[in-house]
Chains A and B, each alone.
Chain A
Amino acid sequence: MLRYSIPLGVFLLLVLFLAFGLRRDPNELPSALINKPAPTFRLPQLKDPSKTFSAEDMRGKVWMLNVWASWCIACRDEHPYLFEYQKSGAVPIYGFNYKDNREDALGWLGELGDPYVLSAVDLEGRVAIDYGVYGAPESYIIDKSGTIRLKHVGPVTPDVWSSKILPVVQELNRQ
């Protein structure tokens, strides 16, 4: 009996490991910032550089910070969906224009439309380092107390929106 149960046990253990391991996306890193306070910043706004935007301005609200740039190809795929999310009114979407030229960024929004309440400009990418940005597009959900609750790397597809982001937003709004 023991003869068979040991290899069988090892095999089942392997199956278990692979079942969990192979289904994970190796490109997605667990964010170190989940459940940590959103790093503070004060950045100029894209459309009106005389005005600034800060994460502190959003205290008391659940909001989404979406990292984008005109040079970012995947952002272009994501962009049309952002209008749907914005129209649904589930969560206000704020843009984070990452290492972009101002003219290019404004041209991009002019051409494709602007789904953002406003976009903050991080020309040097210094604030992006605080947020652990390593590949645009990235999206953060920040709760009423200013804590990062979710980070998604890559385009927010309708699937990601309904299965990952919306449940968290609804839960946070209830709190």
Chain B
Amino acid sequence: MAFLRLLPLLLLCLLASTAIAQVQEVDRPSDDPVVEQRLAKISHELRCLQCRNQTLAESPAGLAVDLRNELRAQIRAGKSDEEIKAFLTQRYGDFILYKPRVTAMNYLLWFGPFVVLLGGLAILFYYIKQRRDSITEQPLSDDDRRRAEELLASGKETA
């Protein structure tokens, strides 16, 4: 039942990737647990380009398997995480990074909301200030004071 419910999703996933590899890719896990640990850490921060909303760590797509094997080889060769990410972005672009970097291209995305927030606060303060300025205090006249006292007194009685 769960499978049937997932089926349309799976089909969509297949459609989204124009390529469905026939050559069977297999993960070749390393015997070294350190390599696998580093792979798990770094591949959770990378996107699979075939099933776009999965990380490289989770995706069963052929390209993801190939890339995981490639990353294992690079980790064994002693490459740093930064070097590995540079290797991938040189080939696939920044889109492969699940944690987007701050670059000139996306300043607006990173800082736009704060600009909007500051703009909103400025408008709010301006509005409050204008409102406060437009209210002038009117001292109570003797009549008003007497009426207020009467009302307060009558309130006490009913309570």
Contacts and interface: CB of A to CB of B under 8 A. Distances in A.
Interface in B65-82: 66-67, 70
Interface stretch (A45-53, A57-65, A134-142, A165-173): A134-142
Interface residues of A, number: 33
A7 interface: no
Contacts, number: 75
Interface stretch (B5-13, B32-40, B85-93, B129-137): B85-93
B62 A99 contact: yes
Nearest to A134: B49
A73 B15 CA distance: 10
Given A126-B70, A129-B67, A134-B63, A69 B91 contact: no
B93 A31 contact: yes
A29 B18 contact: no
A71 B63 contact: no
Contacts of A153: 18
A33 B91 contact: yes
A19 interface: no
B22 A32 contact: no
B91 A71 contact: no
Nearest to A133: B63
Contact of B90 (A30, A32, A98, A154): A32
B50 interface: yes
B20 A100 contact: no
B19 A136 contact: yes
Interface in A97-136: 98-101, 104, 123-126, 129-136
A44 to B, nearest CB: 16
B21 A99 contact: yes
B91 A129 contact: yes
A70 B63 CA distance: 17
Interface of A: 27, 29-33, 36, 69-74, 98-101, 104, 123-126, 129-137, 153-154
Interface of B: 16-23, 49-50, 62-63, 66-67, 70, 89-95
